[in-house]
Amino acid sequence: MKNIKEKKKLGYRRLFLFLGLLMLCGGIYFYLDLDNLSINITKNNDGPFVFNLNKNEIKIVKTHTINDSLQIVRYKQNRNKAFNCLVDNEDNDVLKLSLMDSLKSNPNTINRVDSIFVMSDIHGCANAMISLLQKNKIVDKNFNWIFGNGHLVMVGDVTDRGKNTMACLWLLYKLQKQVGERVHYLFGNHELMTLYGRYSYLNEKTKSSLKKIMKVDSKSKALKEMFSEKSELGNWIRKCNVIERIGGLLFVHAGISKDFMNLNISLDSINKIYQENCDRKSSDLKKESKEFNIIFGRMGPVWYRGMVMDYKKYYKKMSQKDFDKVLNYYNVNKIIVGHTEVDSVSYDYNKKLIRVNVHQPKVKNSNKAQALMILKGKYYRVYGNGIRKEL
């Protein structure tokens, strides 16, 4: 009995010594994830990258650094078991996650909705995304939905650039799991580039570890596999629509060109075309036909900037007359776009276009973080500190 007690004491001493050493490593924060029997270091963490092994089991990969040394944690667990995503920020925010039973696309068209919160081009800026959602009462402090029967629309480009792409994706996924079709995630050009393996826009943290995470010798191949159909998030992104109509509003990442409109493609058809081809390079798709050259080229809905500006030598900004034709074609009152950055969430075309892509800050609770709030027919520019101003 005495020997057993001594062994327990020795075990505890070794555990506390180990934890103490971790605390000395540059002031790293940590916590024990007892569910997964692993230690998660919250310095430069990335992931989780979740891969479906079969209908009951998943593989989870997470990364962190200790003294500039990349550490990769890999483990398997039951698909129905919860797991965490650690946000790489000063508050060490934690998203508590579980997977959806099944993944499906949202409807192309939804009847009138009184309350809509719109964001775009968040590009891995988790602090801005969290502040906008929490301060404007879309989610609570634990990232649970509190927006009632309202809808959230993310008009593309969650991925790339910022260091918290995975956290932003998982937060959107978590909310869609809670309220289903009231959360809308549209394709942006960066989602497509992620799916077909273009890594040049990735943040350095993920880019530098891609090959080690996926155990392949090519960064492009690694990114494709990271978001393949075997990946939970990769499979989920493939269900995105590229254009949706909610009541009298049309949502699209970049814009609708006259050339694209003249193809006379229904919303159902264009969404299926994007879903079926989203992991193929646009340079390859454009060679297949004149129609695909428009759909996936600079005149297509994830690239066209002509509703906001002239674009280099290629085209001038759309005229009011042509813009009105687009409104009439889709039978909507307003169009909401991201993609092309503007100084603030704002109107154009006699208040028929709303531009929502602004440069999002890296810090929380900033008045530079902006989104669009629609409440009972009124349109507001809202900020990361909770302030609201009618457009």
Dist. CA 27–CA 23, nearest whole Å: 5
Angle at which helix 204-214 crosses helix 219-226, to 10 degrees, equals 80
Q: By C-alpha distance, which of 309, 385, 310 is closest to 135? A: 385
Dist. CA 296–CA 156, nearest whole Å: 15
What was the pLDDT predicted at 64? 87
Which two three-digit tokens encode residue 383? Answer: 């900020």
Q: Which value, in Å, is the radius of gyration of the alpha carbons in the chain?
A: 22
Helix (H) or strand (E) holding 173: helix 165-179
Backbone φ, ψ for residue 111 (5° rounding):
-65, 175
Dist. CA 289–CA 318, nearest whole Å: 25
Task: Point out which residues pair with 390 in neighbouring strands.
Answer: 380
Dist. CA 151–CA 338, nearest whole Å: 17
Q: By C-alpha distance, which of 58, 65, 110 is closest to 81? A: 58
Alpha carbons within 13 angstroms on the beta-carbon side of residue 4 total 1
Backbone φ, ψ for residue 40 (5° rounding):
-105, 115
Which two three-digit tokens encode residue 339? Answer: 């993609």
76-94 tens-digit pLDDT: 999 999 999 999 999 999 9
Q: By C-alpha distance, which of 351, 335, 385 is closest to 365? A: 385
Dist. CA 210–CA 223, nearest whole Å: 7
State the pairing for strand pair 334-337/353-355: parallel
Q: By C-alpha distance, which of 337, 373, 339, 343 is closest to 358? A: 343
Amino acid letter, 374 = I
Longest distance between any two alpha carbons in the chain, whole Å: 90
E strands, the chain, in order: 30-33, 38-41, 46-52, 57-66, 69-78, 83-86, 94-97, 109-110, 115-119, 151-154, 183-185, 243-246, 249-252, 334-337, 346-348, 353-355, 370-375, 378-383, 388-390
What was the pLDDT predicted at 6? 54
Angle at which helix 165-179 crosses helix 126-135, to 10 degrees, equals 30
What residues does each domain of the chain span?
2-86, 109-390
Average pLDDT, the chain: 91
Q: By C-alpha distance, which of 343, 370, 338 is closest to 354? A: 338
Please, what is the Cα angle at 77 between 71 and 79, to 5 degrees?
125
What was the pLDDT predicted at 67? 80
120-144 tens-digit pLDDT: 999 999 999 999 999 999 999 999 9
Spell out the long-range contacts of 178-183 with Cβ–Cβ below 8 A and sequence spacing 24 or more.
178/144, 178/145, 179/145, 181/106, 181/107, 181/110, 182/147, 182/149, 182/150, 182/151, 182/152, 183/151, 183/152, 183/154
Contact (CB, 8 A) for 301 and 256:
yes
Dist. CA 239–CA 50, nearest whole Å: 17
What was the pLDDT predicted at 288? 93
Dist. CA 112–CA 109, nearest whole Å: 10
Sites in the chain below the pLDDT cut of 50: 2, 4-5, 7-8, 12, 15-16, 19-42
Contact (CB, 8 A) for 71 and 29:
no
Dist. CA 16–CA 259, nearest whole Å: 66
DSSP 354-380: EE------SSSS-TT-EEEEEETTEEE
Whether the CA torsion 319, 321, 324, 325 is positive or negative: it is negative
Whole-structure pTM value: 0.90
**Fold of the 109-390 domain:** Purple Acid Phosphatase; chain A, domain 2 (3.60.21)
What was the pLDDT predicted at 13? 55
